[in-house]
Chain A
Amino acid sequence: MKKKSAFFSSKYFSLVLIIVILMAIFTIWSKGQMITPLNIRNILNNLVLLSFIGCGACYLMLYGEMDISAGALGSFAGCVCAYLAMNNGVPSGIATIIALIVGSLCGLVNALFINVLKFPPFIATMGMSYVLQGAGYLIATGTGINIRKLAFLNFIGDTKFFDGLVPVSVIISILFLVIYGIILSKTEFGRTIYLCGGNRRAARLCGLNPKKLSYILYINSGFLASVSGIIYVSRVKTALPTALGSYQFTGITAAVLGGVAFGGGSGNMVGCALGMLILAIFNTGVSTVGFNANYTKVFNGVLLIIGLALDAITARRNARKVVAQSLATAEKDRELVV
């Protein structure tokens, strides 16, 4: 009983409630189209691309920074993979591994700019984003690289389990979400992210190494973006330098909606995953009820702003609470002295 009430007052409850309401609205609006098996699969597919970049964004935001290059980086990794496999005859499995390594190295370069040259993360990763998009055009041209013949990528993109309902990429995505969630909440490494994100100087004076963590997180963000990019290629069969567009912002939106505070230190993976689900449902719903796809961008922007507003409101409410409490304690101390 007690547990139940804790759940109802928690942040998750409101997120689940939003999901239920969204599903209901879109179902009624689309006259049932929203909950056909095919559409559910669309929602899951939408979730897949978001989940990898979202995990990377969530970790970095908990640390108090962000990676604006994730979208371009993922697209670029997809292009690298396709380019190696199609134009140079590298076996697609190996091309995939090389692309993941290249993507992680781009993350490393981001980290070097930020930690060695002390660039603000926003600037460093934005610069990287332009460089990679340009590089993507150089190797894949505007029309992209068709990859229809590649065995490994076709397996990832096309295999489906449970009567063709659940694509293998969804399984991979859920696996990643679970693993990243467990790392965050249960391991020393996850704790380190929270502590360094909450107060970098204090964490360092307690013997942690925020700089090292920063390298790991940017490399991780590059790696996850690359996974996203490769899965995208495996599904649509074409590598495009703009494939993932500005997906990094969608990832950030998911994290913010899920309760990750700007500036770091608080939030968790369950919230993030629910945030991703909200966005996936929303984006699928918007196209199901027949809106032009461009509207999804507008709505994503609106959702980001709503998420930020909620973040600001909670922060202000907490600040007020803290002041009130500290005044109350001071009052008590004074009484004790008297």
Chain B
Amino acid sequence: MPDYVHLKGINKAFPGVQALSNIDFRMEGGYVTALIGENGAGKSTLLKVLSGEIRPDSGTIDFNGKLLSFSHPQDAIKAGISVIYQERQLFPMLSVMENIFIDDIPVNRFNLISRSELKKRATKILEKFGLDIDPTEPVGRLSVAHQQMIEIMKAYRRNSKVIAFDEPTAPLMDDEIDTLFRIIEELKAEGKIVLYVSHRMAEIFRITDRLVIMKDGKIVTTRETASTTESELVSLMVGRDVGDTYKNLSRNDKIGEVVLEVNGLTTEYVRDVSFKLHKGEVLGFAGLVGAGRTEVMRAIFGDDKIISGEIKLEGKPVHFQSPREAIDAGIMLCPEDRKELGLVLPRSISDNISIPVLKKLKKGLFMDRSAEVKLAETGVAKYNIKTPTIDKRTIELSGGNQQKVILARWTSDKLHTKILILDEPTKGIDVGTKAEVYQMVCDLAKEGKGVIFISSELTEVLNLADRIIVMHDGRITGEVMREEATEEKVLALAMKE
């Protein structure tokens, strides 16, 4: 009988969101099981449960009839489960052989590292994988693809029965992908349980045998890959009914002239990006994580160097050298990572709201405390920020309220906001606050501001934006109007190779 892993009724909640609910499926040795779903469907959380990094709130992992519970990632490894992440967990200064045997280095009778034995064993594995790599080479000097192979060899050497791959092909070139797939085929032939997480349709159909489709932390269905078509898979991934949230929004229907025009913008991260934003328009940016949407905005905002291309604000060419210049010109950016880039967490709500307008809150040499209080209180009232006082430190607020503080900062009447860029504004906040944020976006559009709305949640972009720009791999792959936008259409553009 082949090995199997059966995940039974796994639940996991994070503050404000149910990341996994009642996950239940079975993987068998000798098969490659694909785990697929949109961004935020819960795939990474599930992988982390499997690798022992996260403890589920309830549910069990049944491995060949034995119930496993991990309190540490090391437990999962000992049990024979290896998860290979995108960000490789290698020591770049150490050699290939040391990395492969990192937790089982052979020693001689003096308890010192036996390099000859280490080299012998590593060479054996390298030969088995058919890779022409010098075992004494530092891992940091290898190509990304080879580094990933080292990670797989590590799992293989541990004799792991379960090997899970988290989007392994993202950094690889075509011929490297071929090598990877050859190795996966071999693992499969040896009866290993392989779990394969990827966004790429072509690969899923090429390498996997079974499909587990996730959405919003739940399993939608499981299928045999051979009997599923590509379009069927897309609609399974999408299939969600739009709640009343969007129907009740009071939208802006008067779209004005062009306020921002970007032509052929190229930076280190994005290539030849062109688009227009109108006054009163909500322009959605869709795409997979890492498609380059954030990087486009950073370049416009003066935070990234522009290699070539032109940006026009209200018809006049602009080239901002720093965020300060962009802010003074009327472009505001709510960055993607609230805690790392958005807020100064140890400071108060009031301090956080006033940052960009400190110069306008002075009375002579000193800060004008009463003007600052007024600014903060207006923001707190306008955005319904739930807090007893404006002096509360932002680190103590919930995610939703933190996001509202940032919105209050960028829309205060001391700033002449023409364009507001919102990068993943609803990430990690609860449903109720999300609806509030949507209405705020519409209200800003009504005031005649141009709003750029970036989100990895497709439903959100589709329902909120007047027009949607889709990016993939640093380029714009298409543009859709809301009336004609469907999740299938946008997803196809987002995954366009």
Q: Which residues of A contact B (CB under 8 A)?
A: 186-188, 191-192, 194-195, 198-199, 201-209, 261, 265-266, 318, 321-322, 325-327, 329-330, 333, 336-337
- Contact between A333 and B355 (Cβ–Cβ < 8 Å)? no
- Contact between B344 and A337 (Cβ–Cβ < 8 Å)? no
- Contact between B344 and A265 (Cβ–Cβ < 8 Å)? yes
- Contact between A205 and B323 (Cβ–Cβ < 8 Å)? yes
- Contact between A188 and B367 (Cβ–Cβ < 8 Å)? yes
Known contacts A205-B323, A206-B356, A330-B398; decide if A187 and B345 are in contact (CB<8 Å): no
Q: Which of B318-359 contact A (CB under 8 A)?
A: 322-324, 327-328, 333, 335, 340-347, 351, 355-356, 358-359
Nearest CB in chain B: distance from A331 CB, A = 9
Q: Which of B53-81 contact A (CB under 8 A)?
A: none
- Contact between A206 and B398 (Cβ–Cβ < 8 Å)? no
Nearest CB in chain B: distance from A336 CB, A = 6
Residue in B327, B361, B395, B398 whose CB lies within 8 Å of A333: B398
Give complex CA distance A188, B346 in Å: 18
Write out, one digit per residue, whether chain B residues 418-446 have a CB within 8 A of any chain A CB (1) or not (0).
00000000000011100000000000000
B15 interface contact, C-beta 8 A: yes
Residue in B324, B335, B342, B351 whose CB lies within 8 Å of A195: B351
Q: For residue A318, which residue of chain B has the nearest CB? A: B395
Instruction: Give every chain A residue within 8 A of B347 (Cβ-Cβ).
Output: 194-195, 198, 265-266
Q: For residue B400, which residue of chain A has the nearest CB? A: A333
Nearest CB in chain B: distance from A292 CB, A = 41
Give complex CA distance A207, B332 in Å: 10
Give complex CA distance A284, B340 in Å: 44
Instruction: Give every chain B residue within 8 A of A203 (Cβ-Cβ).
Output: 344, 355
- Contact between A261 and B346 (Cβ–Cβ < 8 Å)? yes
- Contact between B398 and A202 (Cβ–Cβ < 8 Å)? no
Instruction: Give every chain B residue within 8 A of A327 (Cβ-Cβ).
Output: 15
Q: Which of A206, A266, A326, A327 has the most CB of B within 10 A?
A: A206
Q: Which residues of B contact A (CB under 8 A)?
A: 13-16, 301, 303, 322-324, 327-328, 333, 335, 340-347, 351, 355-356, 358-359, 361-362, 365-367, 395-396, 398-400, 409, 430-432
Instruction: Give every chain B residue within 8 A of A330 (Cβ-Cβ).
Output: 13-16, 398, 430
- Contact between A188 and B396 (Cβ–Cβ < 8 Å)? no
Instruction: Give every chain A residue within 8 A of B355 (Cβ-Cβ).
Output: 195, 203, 206-208
Give complex CA distance A26, B400 in Å: 53
25 example contacts (A-B, Cβ-Cβ < 8 A) are as follows A186-B367, A187-B365, A191-B351, A192-B358, A194-B351, A195-B344, A195-B355, A198-B345, A203-B344, A205-B303, A205-B333, A205-B342, A206-B323, A206-B409, A207-B322, A208-B355, A209-B322, A322-B395, A322-B396, A326-B398, A326-B399, A330-B15, A330-B16, A333-B398, A336-B432
Residue in B335, B341, B356, B400 whose CB lies within 8 Å of A207: B356
- Contact between A202 and B343 (Cβ–Cβ < 8 Å)? yes
Known contacts A186-B367, A333-B432; decide if A205 and B358 are in contact (CB<8 Å): no
